Chain A
Amino acid sequence: MAKRRRRFSPRVTRIWVAWLIISLPVPPARAADSPPTLEYQVKASMIYNFLHDVSWPPQSFESPAAPIGVCIIGRDPMGRALDRLAGEIAQGRAISVQRFSDWSEQVAASCNVLFLPEVEGLDADAVLANIRDYSILTIGEERGFLERGGIIRFAIVNGRVQFEINNSAARRARLIISAKLLRLATRVFGK
């Protein structure tokens, strides 16, 4: 019986040499320019999606033309992914993106969505305590965020961004979360 053997020739060796050459180290790109990680791009995109699936009471907005405020407190891991939201339309309103270093009355006045990233120096608990009386969709990342009164928490499950919802906290904030969002949530507290 004839045998046909196709094994690798010196050509393959040349390919590996070529690979070694292109894989030589290059100076790292400028850090300031580096895009947000895929995780935070996905989270920013999810926040954009949430805007279409949550209803705010009319009194949350000063006027029919008032923008819908998406805010972040603390060091911002989303960067230009979040900037992509600015100027887009949600709930018939233009989205305005604002960044704050800490809690202030200004946050309550101009934010409809507030993202509290899990970064050093940000005390999400203190912010949640201050925010309790406002119709603000709070979105966090820390363990226990929902137990402490937050409304949506991002969780990484099987390497993918999923979210959990505290619907009783949403109701307390007079927000209505769509059935679709509740269905897509990994877990819903206070159904």
Chain B
Amino acid sequence: MKTFHIFLLMSGLLISAAAAEAAPADKLDIEITKTPLEDLLNIEVTSVSKRPEQVRGAAAAVYVLTGEEIQRAGVRTIPDALRLVPGVQVAAIDANKSAVSIRGFNSRTSNKLLVLIDGRTVYDPLFSGVLWEATHVMLEDIDRIEVIRGPGGTVWGSNAVNGIINIITKNARETVGTYAAAGGGSEERYFASARQGAEISDETFGRVFADFYRRDSGYLEEGADDDSHRGQAGFRIDSNASERDMVTFQGDYHQGEYGLPHSELRSDEETEGFNILGRWSRALAPDSGLSLQLYYDRSELVTDVLSEDRDSIDVEFLHHLKAYERHALVWGLRYRYTADDVVNSEVLALDPDSRRENLVSAFVQDEIALFDRELFLTLGSKFEYNTSTQVELQPTVRLSWQPEPDKVTWAAVSRAVRVPSRLEEDLIVTLESGEILSGSRDLESEQVIAYEIGHRRRLGKRVFLDAALFYNTYYDLVTLEGDVAGNGGEGDTYGVEFAATLDVLPWWRVVSSYAYLQMDLELDSGSIGDPQELRNIEGSNPHNDFSIHSRMDLPYDLKFDAILRYVDNLPAQGVSSYLVADARLAAQLTDELELSVVARNLFDEHHFERSGSQVSQVETGVYGMLRLKF
């Protein structure tokens, strides 16, 4: 008995000694003398966003692509920029349309992503997906693209089942002066952009911009007609109205025309739209603040088979605060009204041809610091009411352990839902055979329970690693049950995503990423659907893909970037794997003028990335570009 007490005492001492060692009292959030300046500039210190945490400490699979990385990659579209993000699958359907997905379900109508531009939702409720050809911002204005893989349903809006892509443009304060760029080449026929920024008054900055491009068609032996052009113009004003208040006011107008590879079958797709957004945020204390955002968005889509006009109004209120020392609370309210009018055709029709929807949601999330701020427990849920499926609950539990500033291990379990799209509910398709397929108002939301773990760490001064593993279980996936839409699919997906940054030399950085994905879907016991439908979904996603991006700052103000990209074959699409390279050389001719030459999709004269009746091949392309900044 006595020995037992001694044992208890000893172990007590050992545990407290270990605890003292594991938790040095002077622990800080960042490595003061080891963090590169470029990284410091990207750390959010006072949060005006929904995530009052830094990306590196986040208990989620977060990846940030900076504006500079996008410039240096020589890409001209957002989907092409997203090819550099680990775990994001991008396939070109033709020379202007893309299929973008995270963690599976890749298609033109990939419907499990939430995509935002400066806080404005850009996925179309018509099909719960994004028309990527119409989703563009002037590339030089991009501050960063934050990609969260996995369900972000708790804090963010619905549709964030498999991930969030958040495109953030620069504050007007960062764009004072004149900027102009122009270029052209074989695939990027020509493009031009111009921006003028100014300090309007003390602590109020503004810019106006315009952007235009004309892109060539893709490759087909018989010739393809999928050339496209798009123009956009807009403004942004940012004001530090007071020491505590920040106000943003921005808007843009865009118009584009996008050809199809076989124009003899269908005429061009056209899009047009404008939006206007205002946001006010106020810091209440270093750890608390609130923000209010309001926007109006108008979009029009015209195609041979279906046309859509849509108006949306969205109001969002957020409040984050520190409570009882160890709680970081965020809560918010959102209201969204969206109304559409469609023009039906003989092939495709929506019944009714006009619909108004209201969505009300609230969320609350609490991050609790435990064990001397080494362990963080995050609990939260979103409560949503929408017109089609009524009340939806999307909770999450996250745990992150951060023993050192640059060493984080995290795990999460979450539930997220995707509300049926307008097409899935109201569609009526008349096939050539005379058979009629229709949507259903009885559809449930698709659901996912996602299990994730991840680890991020800096090794010495030169290496940064980020790895994530996920296992997702889906229920109620929308399938075709006979000739009516139903919730007949279920199944599991799992995979790994890996990113590594290596600072080989002060002037040479190599960023690489790899993703593995496996999808096992099946019809549930009561389904009368066709198993082939799910086989096609599975087989349209690459098992493996990787990219390596080398960035060199050479003497004489030269910058050289080279990217190697590999994407596995897609069995259901009959598409083979491909390995291509991109390269960019830029020379700073004077302080104001930069000349660059870019070659993309080298090694492979042309390759398919999807199959179907309206696809074309991606071709090797070269373009030159001049940038003027003063």
Contacts and interface: CB of A to CB of B under 8 A. Distances in A.
A13 to B, nearest CB: 12
A85 B33 contact: yes
B303 interface: no
Contact of B393 (A8, A25, A36, A159): A8
Contacts of A38: 29-30, 43, 45, 54
Top 10 closest pairs, chain A to chain B, by CB: A2-B526, A39-B45, A84-B32, A25-B324, A49-B37, A28-B325, A159-B48, A45-B32, A159-B44, A1-B486
A172 interface: no
Among A26, A160, A187, A191, the most chain B Cβ lie within 10 Å of the Cβ of: A160
A140 to B, nearest CB: 15
B327 A23 contact: yes
Nearest to B473: A6
B433 interface: no
Contacts, number: 135
Nearest to B381: A16
A35 B45 contact: no
B333 interface: no
A26 B28 contact: no
Interface of B: 25-33, 35-38, 40-49, 54, 143, 168, 171, 173-174, 176, 202-203, 286, 324-327, 366, 368, 370, 377, 379, 393, 395, 397, 444, 447, 449, 475-476, 481, 486-488, 490, 524-528, 591
Nearest to B26: A80
A46 interface: yes
B526 to A, nearest CB: 2
Contact of B30 (A22, A28, A45, A143): A45
Q: What band does the interface of chain A fall in when counting residues whose beta carbon is under 8 Å from B? A: 35 or more
A33 B325 CA distance: 13
A32 B594 CA distance: 51
Interface of A: 1-8, 12, 15, 19, 22-23, 25-26, 28-29, 33, 35-39, 41-42, 44-46, 48-49, 53, 80-81, 84-85, 88, 143, 155-162, 181, 184, 186-187, 191
A33 B24 CA distance: 11
Nearest to B36: A49
Given A143-B203, A155-B173, A159-B47, A35 B28 contact: yes
Contacts of A3: 444, 487, 526
Contacts of B41: 160-162, 184
Contact of B49 (A8, A41, A159, A191): A159
Contacts of A36: 28
B26 A35 contact: yes
A185 B36 CA distance: 14
Contacts of A84: 28, 32-33
A81 B366 contact: no
A160 B28 contact: no
A161 B368 CA distance: 25
Nearest to B287: A37
Given A1-B526, A3-B526, 5 more contacts: A4-B476, A25-B324, A39-B46, A41-B30, A181-B37
B42 A81 contact: no
30 contacts: A1-B487, A1-B488, A1-B527, A3-B526, A4-B475, A4-B487, A8-B395, A15-B397, A26-B326, A28-B324, A29-B325, A39-B45, A39-B286, A41-B28, A41-B30, A45-B33, A53-B37, A80-B26, A84-B28, A85-B33, A143-B202, A156-B45, A156-B46, A157-B171, A158-B143, A158-B168, A158-B171, A159-B47, A160-B42, A187-B174
Nearest to B43: A42
Contacts of A28: 324-325
Contacts of A12: 395
Given A23-B327, A41-B28, A85-B32, A158 B48 contact: yes
A54 to B, nearest CB: 12
A46 B286 contact: no
A4 B40 contact: no
Contacts of A159: 44-49
B29 A41 contact: yes
Nearest to B248: A158
B35 to A, nearest CB: 5
A181 B30 CA distance: 21
Given A37-B45, A184-B41, A48 B32 contact: yes
Given A6-B475, A19-B379, A42-B40, A80 B171 contact: no
A13 B625 CA distance: 59
A65 B527 CA distance: 80
A26 B47 CA distance: 25
B43 A161 contact: yes
Given A23-B366, A161-B43, A42 B174 contact: no
Nearest to B526: A2
A178 to B, nearest CB: 11
A52 B30 CA distance: 19
Contact of A46 (B40, B395, B449): B40
A41 B32 contact: yes
A141 to B, nearest CB: 11
B460 to A, nearest CB: 15
Q: Which of B45, B174, B524 has the most CB of A within 10 A?
A: B45
Given A25-B324, A45-B32, A157 B173 contact: yes
